[in-house]
Structure 1
């Protein structure tokens, strides 16, 4: 089992397959990214390299793999990557995070490839506000894709970044939506990165304020599974859906960390906000997953106790598209 110096065990790998995104979200990439350009250079991991990475982490006890970006659906060989993850028997759960741009056209194929869990970014339920935040008129596509995922029995979560000036006023509208829609709606605190300092200052909302409202209104916390993400989830008997809160500025947020990240170029990031990634590309390219696992086991002891976001630390993270958040 992969364990760091603080006794934390890591059951969950977030594997970026591209750092290109076709959205222009105002909190992440407001100016977009040029077609064919990546934030860390070209040459993302191949399907064979993804397979080596997954087998190495499986050797270390990882049970859940999430494919992220950027926007992972931009990879033409995404289905092959899904099959590569599914070919590793000890990986119990395959998840993906997407902006939902072409979700209705893709979700059936993803389901056939073995997708267990879908996360879709929907920062507003108002079409005009959705366009203002993302730069795209695709809310209807994202919602249609979510409906289809639920029909297929895929566990579905919806991510909404809390933004004081853009979607905080929609809180009651979001609640009305999940009264009948069986998704987990996760409100995520806006995180400060190297590129969004001014935007952060005017838009950050504390998730603890939302949590106080939920508890007051009878929402009860769900017991976490060991491969769960960072959200504290709540349920209410009057609602079909659940609410999750991701509060990276909260006390002891890092104490329950159970996940590691591999970038699209094969760097191991011990934290989303670490100063650097450890370049594993040469070891990955050799195809020896046991040797790769041994190397990762050595590096894990360098993981810090906390990310220190509350002190204004952002590390090397220029924007969230680099590693999929």
Structure 2
């Protein structure tokens, strides 16, 4: 299918970026996402590699250039290298990224890179081992940091995600800023988002990124232009730092105006927004292997995408927790 049949919604937003969840299972117990650990409360008949090949081909034919593999925790799938490879070998796909908690990073990153992975987002909410353990339920920070070094040595572009949380914010900022002096990664501070399961936690722990942005600008950091396949972060650089800083502020004005990504769940449902009321089932056409019919369905369904996620009005849609779609 030709480029002029690209995925463009009624607000003129063009979608070149697919976030593909391959499992909703996660082995961490992050306080802001799965404080009680993973609960199997739905079917686990996840998309198979053949299904994923059909889906990614359909998106690529509609102008998608970047695929991000997410979970839950994607490394819990034994066929992850195969999935990375089939995404990387799909004509039209230029970037294959993945978001991970890093639990298997040191053991597996070389395999992922050989399979075609080009970008890695790594969740590290604190550089203090005790705080990291308190937030995630895992005492694995040092192994994850060692895996990060291996990823950089392999030439992967690495971004580190840290959720802004009130109890840890002051120490979190100080240690991360010192770390970025010599660490060539982009550190992205992400505002805590309200979901169906964390409303009381959100009330007590949400922290706006706007004061951090103001502080960065006052300290000589310069905001960078976004690439058309980039995520929603506002990114900043400083000549005295090897690393960069990104801010993801979903409660900021006009956050949704630059939306360029669509999400598909591990069960084959299209989510027009992380906080959509429901997923739209693509599985029948995916399993038929009918790429052209699937492309037509995607273009038809895109007509239902809203202008905003309405998070600022307390709306969370069907998103009970972020592990459902990998954020």
TM-score of the aligned structures, taking structure 1 as reference length: 0.98
Does the 8 Å CA contact 2:57/2:91 hold for their aligned counterparts?
no
1:221 to 220, 223, 228: 223
Instruction: Specify the alignment match of 1:308 in structure 2.
Output: 310
Deviation at 1:169, TM superposition (A): 2.7
1:120 to 110, 119, 122: 122
Instruction: Specify the alignment match of 1:202 in structure 2.
Output: 204
Does the 8 Å CA contact 1:59/1:290 hold for their aligned counterparts?
no
Instruction: Specify the alignment match of 1:33 in structure 2.
Output: 38
Deviation at 1:167, TM superposition (A): 4.0
Deviations 1:138-188 (A, max 9, x none): 111111111111111100000000000134432011001011000000000
Instruction: Specify the alignment match of 1:2 in structure 2.
Output: 7
Distance 1:240 1:292 in 2: 44
**3-state DSSP class of the match of 1:120?**
strand
**3-state DSSP class of the match of 1:165?**
helix
Distance 1:141 1:46 in 2: 30
Distance 1:263 1:167 in 2: 32
1:232 equivalent to 2:234? Answer yes
Does the 8 Å CA contact 1:120/1:159 hold for their aligned counterparts?
yes
Instruction: Specify the alignment match of 2:183 in structure 1.
Output: 181
Deviations 1:194-216 (A, max 9, x none): 00011101110001011011001
Aligned length: 322
Pairing 1:161-172 to 2, within 5 Å after superposition: 161-172=163-174
1:91 to 62, 74, 93: 93
1:12 equivalent to 2:17? Answer yes
**3-state DSSP class of the match of 1:118?**
strand
Deviations 1:19-40 (A, max 9, x none): 0000000000000015xx3x43
Does the 8 Å CA contact 1:190/1:205 hold for their aligned counterparts?
yes
Stretch moving more, 187-196 or 170-179 = 170-179
**3-state DSSP class of the match of 1:243?**
strand
Q: Where in structure 1 are there 5+ consecutive unaligned residues?
A: none
Distance 2:21 2:42 in 1: 12
Distance 1:17 1:147 in 2: 26
Instruction: Specify the alignment match of 2:280 in structure 1.
Output: 278
1:51 equivalent to 2:56? Answer no
Distance 1:305 1:168 in 2: 35
Q: CA RMSD of the aligned region, Å?
A: 0.8
Does the 8 Å CA contact 2:100/2:121 hold for their aligned counterparts?
yes
**3-state DSSP class of the match of 1:88?**
coil
TM-score of the aligned structures, taking structure 2 as reference length: 0.97
Q: Tell me which stretches of 4 or more aligned residues in structure 1 moved more than 3 Å.
A: none
Distance 1:146 1:116 in 2: 14
Distance 2:36 2:165 in 1: 18
